[in-house]
A and B are shown apart, each in its own frame.
Chain A
Amino acid sequence: MAEKQKKEKSETKEMVTVLIMGKAHKVPADATIMGAIEYAGYQIKRGAGCREGFCGACATAYRLPNDYKIYTGLACTTLVQDGMWLAQLPAIPAQKPVYNLDELKPDVTAFQRIYPEIFRCVACNTCTKSCPQDLEVMDYIQAAKRGDIAAVMDLSFDCLSCGMCAIRCPAEITQYNVGILGRRLFGKYLSKKSEQLDKRIKEVAAKKFDKEFKELMQMSEEELKKKYYARDME
């Protein structure tokens, strides 16, 4: 009844041929790349994480018939096409410099210290073209070069660190790590602070809610229920 309905039988489906790392497989035409790889019989170890477009584990490069271009996509959310030649990237070789956020300033000096290679950017825009999230990657690298932390934060916000930009960058920049640094600097130093937050932390430390907690914790289930169903709503 409430249970998931049976999926359609694969035989009745429209099929396409994809080349998984060069080997041809017939897969359902409406499959995602990840679905197709599994349909073909592979047990994925590297190349799948969240399976919903958040983690960037599933970066995939592909080409299409009679087309010279290299395309990029997330295997978990990109649909297959007939004749697609695809390979997943098991890992992206990238450095992650070590730093102490407390010692950095929220301006261009942070990037100069930690990611000096961004100044080699030749503004070719390949990173932007290779982003499966359609982010303006080059623009946030340019913003980092100007020390515009808010723009780095905003433009890189939806980045999944899939690494496609980094692997294609002629200036050998690890764009997604630059984005993380930009966001952390913004969150820590540039977002306006909330006084109410500090007030609440002090209240808790001063045990302001102690008495109320004790009362609530001692209530019988009946009393608690009554209180719960009578509570007012914001």
Chain B
Amino acid sequence: MYPEYMTPSLKKVAQSRKQRFELAKTGKPVFPPMSAEEREEVLTKFHPDYKPESKRQINIGVNKGDVFTTEIAEMLESRSRIKPGIFDLSKADYETDVLIIGGGGAGCAAAIIAREKGAKCIISTKLRLGDANSMMSQGGMQAAVTAVDSPTIHYLDAMGGGHFDNKPELVRALTENGADVVKWLEELGVVWDKNEDGSFVVRHGGGTSRKRMHSSRDYTGAIIMRTLMDEVRNFPADIETLEFMPVVELLLDKSGKCAGGILYNLETEEYFIVKAKSTIITTGGYGRLHIRGFDTTNHYGATGDGLILAYRAGGKLLFMDSVQYHPTGAAFPEQIGGFLITEAIRGAGGQPLNKHGELFVFPREPRDVESSAIIRECVEKGNGIETPSGRLGVWLDSPLIDMLLGDGYINKQFPAMHRQFIRYGIDITKEPMLIYPSLHYQNGGIEINEKGETNIPGLYVAGEVSGGIHGRNRLMGNSVLDYNVYGRLTGEYAAEYSKSVKLGALSLDHITAYEKELEKEGIKTDLITPILLPSYTPEDVRKRQLTAHYEGTLR
């Protein structure tokens, strides 16, 4: 339930609804979309990435001298969890063809395909299989399937959304494989939203010029992820899944080829050596680093581990200066602060409104533009609504959706959203939601080519941890497509590569070299990475955690 003092503002929203409904029914844009100049202006002034202190130079590694998001530069200039000298690399605890690091969507897709191509796989994952951002996507997946659409129109949308920084050949592979992925997933048993005649229900997303968002109600990610996991588990002899066993460093061989990784058992605190002919990093994003103090939509394990794994081994990063803030994170109630409100709400006709109940931005600008416009409305124009805990937000008018698309549409198509709010006495079929941008997606990542290869032989990368596909801003629905397309591609190429590669002796010399470089650059840090899990322990508890010496697993 909304507090009393919000009632006048809620009344204004209700009052303007009829007029906005009439306007929306015409099918014309309900607010003028921004020109290139207007976009530039709002981004420069209000996007968190454009704040001078949000970026700094990285002083170590392959990208030395490049400008990165400050928190990322800090994370990379850090020490390893392990002392390389202690490990006896002459014998491995596990041997496999393909080591897949991360049990999300990209990881599972890669495993399914690599197995089909005859490779044995190990999936190392930090939490349970499927505890991943992939489980959470609600809105859907882009794919150019309809007759009025084409992969090239999709290509243009993605390039424009990414401010034309995207690597063209990566976007081509992404968009050209869309229809194939829809089919592949359907054959694995994904239940897509369909019309009576078998055609797909498709919606708009931010920055799309055609309706191409394919969905499974608002449990799209959950439906796809559980299907992929179920399939992975149908092959226990070929795909071994190691849960709560994250990789904490990559292994190279003496000639610099990637040769597996070091696993850490989160529960017994043992380390294990995995020797693998090829390795695929699919560790997802970094929302749990809470960049610039923002809340996040991401899962518990989204701590950017893959970036540091690759970076210490000499992997090159791309576009690490850009962070995606989702325009519509929940701002109220406090308990769900930062939770995602799917963009499909706007795709279906939901409108962002200020405290006077007025539209102030076209509802489907690309995400960075939309987010910046919301921040501007709250911060500069003073038209936000303040919550009891002092957050700001604007309304997202959902009742309009049932008016436009018929009673019951929200309950049928957005059950997760409805559930999220009704727990707190807010019925989104009758009242709007209060929203503010939330840290959502890692736009850049480890640089790949159209086969998912990196600059390190034998190291492949797929999904959110990769960089280049989305330029500096990903469009909604392109990431679910991305993890499927590149998960499959890397599974295929890694399996193929594994057939012929000959590995030399295993080595962790790159870890020692990285430590030396830290010293040489005069970087003093206590930070140990990969971070693995964020800590939400309150300060006063921390102050009492006074163990002076750690022994065994007692801490």
Contact = CB atoms under 8 A, between A and B. Distances in A.
Interface of A: 1-8, 10, 30-32, 35, 38-41, 43-46, 48-55, 57, 77, 79, 91, 96, 98-101, 133, 153, 157-158, 160-161, 180-181, 183-188, 191-198, 200-201, 204, 209, 212-213, 216-217, 221, 224-225, 227-229, 231-234
B521 interface: no
A223 to B, nearest CB: 10
Contacts of A39: 536, 538
A55 B176 contact: no
Contacts of B150: 209, 212
7 contacts: A5-B391, A5-B392, A7-B389, A55-B136, A158-B219, A228-B159, A231-B160
Contact of B156 (A181, A188, A201, A216): A216
Contact of B233 (A51, A96, A153, A194): A96
Interface string B124-168: 000110111001100000001111111111011101100010001
Interface stretch (B12-20, B190-198, B499-507): B190-198
Interface residues of B, number: 104
A49 B144 CA distance: 32
A55 B302 CA distance: 14
A79 B297 CA distance: 19
Interface stretch (B81-89, B91-99, B221-229, B351-359): B221-229
B535 interface: yes
B182 interface: yes
Contact of A53 (B172, B294, B416): B416
A234 B297 CA distance: 30
Interface string B374-408: 01001100000000011110000000000000000
B71 interface: no
Contacts of B440: none
B222 to A, nearest CB: 5
Given A57-B131, A96-B230, A184 B189 contact: yes
A1 B54 CA distance: 13
A188 B267 contact: no
A191 B210 CA distance: 24
Nearest to B542: A41
B486 to A, nearest CB: 17
B200 interface: yes
Given A51-B300, A99-B234, A192-B194, A35 B335 contact: yes
Contacts of A227: 156
Given A8-B389, A101-B188, A231-B156, A184 B176 contact: no
A213 B199 contact: no
Contacts of A100: 234
Given A7-B389, A41-B541, A228-B160, A157 B335 contact: no
B230 A195 contact: no
User: Which 9 A-B pairs rank lowest in CB-CB distance, beginning with the nearest?
Assistant: A184-B189, A192-B198, A49-B131, A41-B541, A228-B160, A187-B189, A187-B191, A38-B536, A200-B179
Contacts of A188: 186-189
B116 interface: no
A186 B250 CA distance: 41
B339 A52 contact: yes
Nearest to B378: A2
Given A50-B131, A231-B209, 17 more contacts: A3-B48, A43-B533, A44-B533, A49-B131, A52-B340, A180-B227, A187-B186, A188-B186, A188-B187, A197-B182, A201-B183, A209-B151, A224-B156, A228-B164, A229-B35, A231-B156, A231-B160
A213 B172 contact: yes
B156 A213 contact: no
Given A197-B183, A201-B179, A32 B299 contact: no
Contact of A55 (B131, B198, B340): B131
A160 B222 contact: yes
Given A30-B334, A99-B234, A133-B419, A187 B179 contact: no
A32 B423 CA distance: 12
A24 to B, nearest CB: 15
Contact of B300 (A48, A91, A229, A232): A48
Contacts of A158: 217, 219, 415-416, 419
Contacts of A57: 127-128, 131
A97 to B, nearest CB: 9
B266 A45 contact: yes
B135 A54 contact: yes
Contact of B151 (A43, A204, A234): A204
Nearest to A192: B198
B265 to A, nearest CB: 11
Given A183-B223, A200-B145, A98 B234 contact: yes
